[in-house]
Amino acid sequence: MMMRCLKSGEASQESYYDIASQLEVDIHVGLSEYEVGQRRRNHGYNEFDITSDDPLWKKYLDQASVDCELVKWSLVL
């Protein structure tokens, strides 16, 4: 079994029926235990490495600062 690599940008433009067909899966049945094992061996787990340089509170604070600047500029104009 050789599936083509499907990038998220491409996938977002297609129907889920087309995606299921390309990934060779039945949307009503899913994958068998055997098929899951095969795909994990071939492609690995569906995991992402997510690193966040800034804590969540800092992101909110930075956004509030930008919003405040926009309000100031709109008052000047």
Q: What is the pLDDT of residues 30-75, one digit of tens each?
A: 999 999 999 999 888 877 777 767 777 777 777 766 666 666 666 6
Cα separation, 1 vs 67, in Å, equals: 51
What's the pTM?
Answer: 0.50
Note the pLDDT of residue 29: 94
Note the pLDDT of residue 66: 62
Note the pLDDT of residue 26: 93
Token couple for 11 = 């996938």
Asked if pLDDT for residue 1 goes beyond 90, the answer is no
